[in-house]
Structure 1
Amino acid sequence: MTDTAIAWDAYARQRPERRLTNARGETTWFNWTQYPDHGPGAELLEVAAGARVLGLGCGKGANAAHLTVLGMRAVGVDVSAEQLRAARERWGHLSGLELHQAEAIGFMQEPGGVYDAVYSVYGAVWFTDPARLLPAVRERMRPGGRLVFSQRPPVEGCYGCQASYIPRGDEEDPLVVKRWDYGPEVWEQLLVEHGFTDVRAVVLPAPPGPRTIGTLIVQTRA
């Protein structure tokens, strides 16, 4: 097991399960942000029933499960066995859901056809070198397909590859994974440089309340 997989397994054990229903009483839903019942949904992917959609860093599978309920062929990839175990326990009964344990770049470099859309919600696009990941993603997308991802906006002055710490027990050092922090303008530039078009990167403000950090949402086409 890689150090990265160990780190994300530890993260998975600390994260609560998604609620059984959201504020609308729905049992599945798509959430791009770190806040409940906030922001846009699956419509950002601009795909319909029957589309093949890939989630990079799918975590416990809730977003992928929602796409399956909408009639899409949802494929989720995550490096963490713990994340995928939780996904299978809750969503394994959905016949259109396909889950794989792999690192994002390695999975994208394997044969397996193309995708109508690719998404990442605080997932692998944030935690993988874009110079390596973006070309691999574009190769596996149909022309005009949507790539949409979300992550926390960067701290001012802290850009590029950063250390992200995942705590463990009181007697253990935290685990470290790398993440890539860029503002909207840099993401737009990087995506254009790698052949993507129609790029739009914005920071969605946080909902009213004590927390003020918004969500960076990037949308583009292959």
Structure 2
Amino acid sequence: MNENGTEVSDTRSAAWDEYAKTKPQRRETNARGETTWFNWTQYADHGPGADVLNLKAGDSVLDLGCGSGGNLAHLATLGMKAVGIDLSPKQLDKARERWPDVDGMEVHRGDAVTFLGETFTIFDAVFSVFGAAWFTDPALLLPVVHANLKPGGVFAFSQRPPVEGCYGCQASYIPRGEDEDPAIVKRWDYEPEIWCSLLKEYGFPDVTATVLPTSKNDKRTMGTLLVRAVRGD
């Protein structure tokens, strides 16, 4: 596993480093005793798995906002060439610490749009789990995802559903301690049908957008928005 050392002079990097401090490493095993697994939702052992991406061994896949690399490591163990991009050095440090010996896993520090604009790789799938697809203007992100995804390839992402009436660019506040103002990053929230329209506009004719409900055993009620789009020819 290696890292692109490109310097990222962006306040978002510092914000996501602050966020990384609040997140522990992924558990050693999940409820089924597996050491790697894929998770689309904010709830443990819940929701669909990597099959959403329609990948096979040998395929290349890109994680936009890979964080500490849990989903990426799982795909690598299934035989994919798994590439991740993230703004936070602390998150990437966690990935190197947690998954030091996973073959086929590669992480880079940087901005998702910049990375996609500079890479020559055409991926079989691109995904984002509460990652860069949520925190990047879709007018900037969707064209470069389309350009770097093979025809018939899957682009899928998950995030919290929008608050009713709060659509488009919104502010997310990341705490930085009692004596500092919170870090602020932008996110983009849309209703499922708007995501479908946007993706179709940018060359993804086959799109589904669904709010996955929480587990019946969970007292929390907020679901997870999961969007899956297939690139056209």
Q: TM-score, normalised by structure 2?
A: 0.94
Deviant stretches of 4+, over 2 Å = none
Counterpart mapping for 1:53-202 below 5 A = 53-202=61-210
Aligned residue in 1 for 2:219 = 210
Amino-acid identity (%): 60
2:153 maps to amino acid: G
Q: Superposition RMSD on alpha carbons, in Å? A: 0.7
Aligned match for 1:16, one of 11, 18, 24 = 24
User: Equivalents in 1 of 2:186, 2:19: separation in Å?
Assistant: 14
User: Equivalents in 1 of 2:184, 2:76: separation in Å?
Assistant: 33
Q: 2:15 aligned with 1:7, yes or no?
A: yes
Q: 2:229 aligned with 1:220, yes or no?
A: yes
User: Equivalents in 2 of 1:131, 1:93: separation in Å?
Assistant: 37
What is the CA distance between 1:176 and its match in structure 2?
Answer: 0.3
What is the CA distance between 1:150 and its match in structure 2?
Answer: 0.3
What is the CA distance between 1:93 and its match in structure 2?
Answer: 1.1
How many pairs align? 222
The unaligned stretches of length 5 or more in structure 2 are 1-8
Counterpart mapping for 1:35-54 below 5 A = 35-54=43-62
Aligned residue in 2 for 1:25 = 33
Q: TM-score, normalised by structure 1?
A: 0.99
8 Å CA contact 2:25, 2:98 repeated in 1: no
